[in-house]
A and B are shown apart, each in its own frame.
Chain A
Amino acid sequence: MSLAVRVSPSSHPVVQALHAEWTKLRTVAGPAWLLAGVIALTVAVGAVAAGAAQCPSATCGIDPAKVSFTGLYLGQAAGAVAGVLAVGNEYSTGMIKLSLIAVPRRLTWFFAKAAVLTVPVLIASALAVAGSALAGLLILRGHGFTPAHGYASLTAGADIRAAAGAVLYLTLIVLLSLGVAAAVRDSAVAIGLVLGLLFLFPIVASVVSDATLARRLQQIGPLSAGLDVQATIGVKALPLTPWQGLGVVALWTAGPLLLGALALKFRDA
Chain B
Amino acid sequence: MTTRAVTPYRSQTAAGRESFWHLVHAEWTKFRTVRGWMIAMIVAVMAITAFVFLASNVSSSCSGSACPAPPTGPGGEPVQDAFYFAHQPLTGNGTITVQMTSLTGQAAVGPSQMAPGLQPWSKAGIIIKQNTSQGSAYAAMMVTGSHGVRMQWDYVNDTPGLTGSVSEASPRWLRLVRDGDTITGYDSADGTHWTLVGTAALPGLTSTVQAGLFAAAPSNGNTATATGIFRHIGLSWPAARWTGTNVGGSGANGVAVPGKLRQSAGAITVTGSGDITPLAGDGSVLSVQRALAGTPIGLIPLIVVGAMFITAEYRRGLIRVSLTASPRRGRLLAAKAVVIGAVSFVTGLIAAALAVVVGARILAGTGVPLWPVPALTLARMVIGTGALLAVAAVLALAVGTAARRSATAVAAAIVVIFVPYLLVLVPPLLPGHVGRGGFGGGGLSLVAREWLLRITPAAGFSVQQVVPQFSQVADASYSPNWGYYPLAPWTGFAVECAWAAAALALAFYLLRRRDA
Contacts and interface: CB of A to CB of B under 8 A. Distances in A.
Interface of A: 49, 52-54, 59-63, 66-67, 69-70, 73-74, 77-78, 80-81, 84-85, 88, 92, 186-192, 195-196, 199-200, 202-210, 214-215, 218, 224, 227, 230-231, 233-234, 237-239
B445 A54 contact: yes
Contacts of B419: 73-74, 77, 199
A189 B297 contact: no
A192 B301 contact: yes
Contacts of B410: 187-188, 191-192, 195
B180 interface: no
A61 B294 CA distance: 30
Given A187-B405, A188-B406, A209-B58, A227 B442 contact: yes
B488 interface: no
Contacts, number: 155
Interface in B431-464: 431, 434, 436-442, 444-445, 447-448
A202 B439 contact: yes
A242 to B, nearest CB: 13
Q: Which 7 A-B pairs have the closest CB atoms?
A: A66-B442, A63-B441, A188-B406, A192-B304, A187-B407, A207-B293, A207-B55
Interface in B386-410: 405-410
B442 A218 contact: no
Given A52-B447, A74-B419, A192-B301, A61 B296 contact: no
B297 A49 contact: no
Contacts of A239: 438
Contacts of B57: 208-210
Interface in B275-303: 290, 293-294, 296-297, 300-301, 303
Given A61-B431, A73-B419, A208-B57, A67 B442 contact: yes
Nearest to A200: B297
A196 B31 CA distance: 23
Contacts of B418: 195, 199
A230 B410 CA distance: 27
Contact of A62 (B51, B300, B429, B437): B429
Contacts of A218: 437-439
B407 A52 contact: no
Contacts of A227: 439, 442
B308 interface: yes
Given A77-B419, A195-B418, A203-B297, 15 more contacts: A53-B444, A62-B429, A66-B441, A80-B411, A81-B408, A188-B307, A195-B411, A196-B297, A202-B439, A204-B54, A209-B57, A214-B437, A218-B437, A234-B440, A237-B440
Interface of B: 36, 51, 54-55, 57-59, 290, 293-294, 296-297, 300-301, 303-304, 307-308, 311-312, 315, 405-411, 414-415, 418-419, 422-423, 425-426, 428-431, 434, 436-442, 444-445, 447-448, 481
A125 to B, nearest CB: 17
A195 B442 contact: no
B450 to A, nearest CB: 11
A237 B434 contact: yes
Contacts of B36: 189
B429 A88 contact: no
B103 to A, nearest CB: 30
Nearest to A205: B437
Contacts of A206: 293, 425, 436-437, 481
A52 B444 CA distance: 8
Given A202-B437, A207-B293, A188 B311 contact: yes
Contacts of B425: 202-203, 206
Nearest to B51: A207
Contacts of A62: 428-429, 441
Contacts of B437: 202, 205-206, 214, 218
A81 B431 contact: no
A192 B306 CA distance: 12
Nearest to A214: B438
A189 B296 CA distance: 17
Contact of A234 (B300, B304, B434): B434
A61 B438 contact: no
Contacts of A49: 444, 448
A212 B407 CA distance: 36
B506 to A, nearest CB: 18
B75 to A, nearest CB: 26
Contacts of A78: 411
6 contacts: A81-B407, A195-B300, A202-B426, A206-B425, A210-B57, A214-B438
B253 to A, nearest CB: 22
A224 B58 CA distance: 22
A74 B51 contact: no
